[in-house]
Amino acid sequence: MKNIILIAAALLLGFVEKPVREIRLSNPQFVGATPRLTTDHHNNPVLSWTEKEGDKSHFYFSVSEDGGRTFGPKIRVKTPPVFSTHAEGMPKVAFKKDGTILAVFEVSKPTPDAPRASDLLYVTSTDGGQTWAEPKTVHRDVTPGKGHSFSNVSRLPNGEIGIAWLDEKAPGKEGRTVKFAQTVAGGGFGKEVLVDDNACQCCRTNVFVDNQNRIHVTYRDLLDDGARDISQAVSTDGGRTFTNPKVVYNDGWKINACPHTGPDVAQVGQDLFVTWFSGGDKPGIKLARLGSPELVASRVSERTKHPQMTTVNGQLVWVWDESMALKNADGESRFIQRIGMRKLVDGRVTPVTYITPTEVNAAYPVVLATKKGLLVAYEQQKEGQNSVIVSRWVESF
Residues 258 and 150 in one domain: yes
In a domain? residue 31: no
- 82/172 same-domain check: yes
Which of the pair, 176 or 4, is modelled with greater confidence? 176
CA pair distance 363, 365, nearest whole angstrom: 6
Mean pLDDT of the chain: 90
d(CA 9, CA 319): 13
Q: Which of 145-159, 178-192, 193-207, 353-367 has the lowest mean pLDDT?
A: 353-367
Amino acid at 43: N
Residue 13 has pLDDT above 60, yes or no: no
Q: Which residue has the higher pLDDT, 10 or 99?
A: 99
Residue 49 CA to residue 74 CA, distance in Å, equals 10
Please answer whether residues 95 and 103 qualify as being in contact, where contact means their C-beta atoms are separated by less than 8 angstroms: no
How far apart (Å, rounded) are the C-alpha atoms in residues 132 and 168? 28
CATH code assigned at 275:
2.120.10.10
pLDDT (mean) for 303-323: 95
The type of residue at 37 is L
pTM: 0.93
Classify residue 227 by its DSSP letter: B
Question: Three-class SS of residue 89?
Answer: helix
Asked, for residue 287, whether it belongs to a domain, the answer is yes
Question: What pLDDT does 387 receive?
Answer: 65
The verdict on residue 162 lying in a domain is yes
Give the tens place of pLDDT for each residue, 222-257. Answer: 999 999 999 999 999 999 999 999 999 999 999 988
Average pLDDT in the 171-194 region? 96
| Amino acid identity at 199 | A
**pLDDT-derived band at 21, boundaries 50, 70, 90:** low
Which of 206, 240, 262 is where one domain is finished? 262
- 203 and 273 share a domain? no
| Least confident piece of the model among 52-56, 199-203, 205-209 | 52-56
Q: Residue 390 and residue 388: Cα distance in Å, rounded? A: 6
Residues 246 and 346 in one domain: no
DSSP state letters, 41-88: TT--EEEEEEEEETTEEEEEEEE-SSTTS-----EEE---SS---SGG
Q: Are strands 295-300 and 284-289 parallel, antiparallel or unpaired?
A: antiparallel
Rounded CA-CA distance 104/95 in Å is 12
Whether 3 has a pLDDT exceeding 50, the answer reads no
Are residues 322 and 249 both part of a single domain? no
pLDDT band of residue 178 (cuts 50, 70, 90) is: very high
What span, in angstroms and rounded, lies between the C-alpha atoms of 226 and 104?
Answer: 31
Question: Helices (H), strands (E): how many in the chain?
Answer: 0, 32
The total number of structural domains in the chain stands at 2
Q: Are residues 126 and 139 in the same domain?
A: yes
